[in-house]
């Protein structure tokens, strides 16, 4: 172990949930993420020396675009190699192989695994039998810790003092793991005020609201206009059709759509975020508004995941 890696609390550790990101660790991750972003922008060739010789396995039981691609891009930017396996239809999994056996086998091939699964707690279960670090890239409706990190990094970059802000979550707050992870992180580490606007059947669970309420103020809004008007950060999410009966999806789809007209209710200094993919809940005309931060948010995901891979594998 190098001298640098001895000082990293993430060295050779799994990344499973936001609870592990204490203030000291955040103070290590975010400046490194800034450095990574700057070095990518200037095409620093020495980036490729950082993880040369390392292999990342991206194994997703659920389809993904951005999370899969950004992990792959982050590893390759740092000089490492990547194996991506997303379609399990013709894999050993489809033949009945257990998650534990699959992960134990993959651990023989690579140095780190980014795992997405459709069951809550599955990634933690896999980590108990895995000899190499695992990154939780989403477990059902549970957590998505790297998304929460890049979201906080974006808020800090765009709005500076996160403690004084109000983050308003809009959309599917029942199933959205990005909402669950980010709300927990900003409440526990920053005491950031939280607002919620969702269809009745997709509201945040009573358990999560109670947990957040012990750490910060949590408000529910009855109208989209009010939610927009009070937000410093408007975090819009899609309705997750794949996690509900079709009849329920048909009932709630289209209940909220952010348009340039509605953005007239918003503060002059605020940002709109979205973890993507979007499915009609933000009108594409909003993309031209300088307060639309979601593509900058996506770029920040590359930087944060580069920082995490470096800290976990090289210290």
What is the pLDDT at residue 4? 43
**296 catalytic per annotation:** no
Among 14, 67, 166, 216, the one annotated catalytic: 67
Residue 153 belongs to a domain with what CATH number?
3.40.50.1370
Say yes or no: 37 and 150 in one domain: no
**4 catalytic per annotation:** no
State how far the alpha carbon of 288 is from the alpha carbons of 75, 86, 154, in Å: 31, 33, 18
Say yes or no: 8 and 133 in one domain: yes
Say yes or no: 175 and 84 in one domain: no
**144 catalytic per annotation:** yes
The number of domains in the chain is: 2
Per the structure block, which two tokens stand in for 94?
A: 């489809």
Q: Is 227 exposed, middle or buried (0-12, 13-18, 19+ CB in 10 A)?
A: buried
Say yes or no: 129 and 169 in one domain: no
Per the structure block, which two tokens stand in for 310?
A: 């470096």
What is the pLDDT at residue 5? 41
Q: Is 149 exposed, middle or buried (0-12, 13-18, 19+ CB in 10 A)?
A: buried
Say yes or no: 172 and 281 in one domain: yes
H-assigned helices in 42-136: 66-77, 99-106, 122-127
**189 catalytic per annotation:** no
Say yes or no: 85 and 202 in one domain: no
Among 14, 116, 274, 305, the one annotated catalytic: 116
Say yes or no: 119 and 169 in one domain: no
Q: Do the Cβ atoms of 208 and 180 come closer than 8 Å?
A: yes
Q: Do the Cβ atoms of 204 and 176 come closer than 8 Å?
A: no
**Of 97, 154, 120, 165, which Cα lies nearest the Cα of 17?**
120
Say yes or no: 242 and 310 in one domain: no
* Ranges in the chain, pLDDT < 50: 1-5, 90
Say yes or no: 11 and 135 in one domain: yes
231's CB contacts (< 8 A; 6+ apart) are 166, 167, 168, 195, 266, 267, 270
Question: What distance in Å separates the CA atoms of residue 10 and residue 22, rounded to the nearest whole number?
Answer: 11
Among 144, 174, 193, 310, the one annotated catalytic: 144
What is the pLDDT at residue 298? 96
Among 13, 66, 85, 209, the one annotated catalytic: 66
The boundaries of the domain holding residue 138 are 3-143+301-314
Please, what is the angle between helix 177-190 and helix 206-213, to 10°?
20
H-assigned helices in 143-238: 145-159, 177-190, 206-213, 224-230
Say yes or no: 294 and 151 in one domain: yes
Question: What distance in Å separates the CA atoms of residue 293 and residue 302, rounded to the nearest whole number?
Answer: 15
Among 42, 95, 214, 269, the one annotated catalytic: 95
**85 catalytic per annotation:** no
Say yes or no: 227 and 106 in one domain: no
Say yes or no: 139 and 152 in one domain: no
């Amino acid at each position: 172990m190098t001298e640098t890696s001895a000082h990293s609390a993430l060295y050779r550790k799994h990344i499973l949930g936001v609870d592990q990101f204490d203030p000291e660790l955040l103070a290590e991750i975010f400046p490194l993420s800034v450095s990574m972003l700057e070095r990518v922008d200037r095409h620093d060739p020495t980036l490729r020396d950082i993880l040369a010789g390392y292999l990342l396995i991206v194994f997703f039981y659920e389809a993904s675009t951005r999370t899969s691609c950004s992990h792959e891009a982050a590893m390759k930017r740092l000089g490492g190699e990547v194996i991506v396996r997303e379609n399990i239809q013709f894999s050993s999994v489809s033949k009945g192989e257990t998650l534990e056996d699959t992960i134990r086998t993959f651990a023989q091939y690579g140095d780190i695994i980014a795992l997405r699964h459709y069951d809550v707690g599955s990634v933690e279960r896999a980590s108990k039998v895995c000899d190499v670090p695992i990154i939780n890239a989403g477990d059902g409706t549970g957590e998505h810790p790297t998304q929460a990190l890049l979201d906080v990094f974006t808020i800090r970059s765009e709005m500076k003092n996160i403690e004084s802000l109000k983050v308003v979550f809009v959309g599917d707050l029942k199933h959205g793991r990005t909402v669950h992870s980010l709300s927990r992180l900003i409440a526990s580490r920053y005491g950031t005020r939280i607002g919620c606007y969702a269809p009745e059947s997709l509201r945040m669970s009573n358990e999560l609201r109670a947990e957040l309420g012990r750490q910060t103020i949590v408000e529910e809004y009855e109208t989209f206009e009010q939610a927009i008007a009070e937000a410093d950060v408007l975090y819009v999410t899609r309705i997750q059709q794949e996690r509900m009966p079709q009849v329920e999806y048909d009932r709630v789809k289209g209940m909220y759509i952010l348009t340039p007209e509605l953005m007239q209710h918003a503060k002059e200094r605020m940002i709109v975020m979205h973890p993507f993919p979007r499915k009609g809940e933000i009108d594409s005309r909003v993309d031209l508004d300088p307060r639309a931060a979601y593509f900058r948010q996506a770029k920040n995901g590359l930087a944060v995941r580069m920082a995490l891979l470096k800290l976990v594998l090289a210290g």
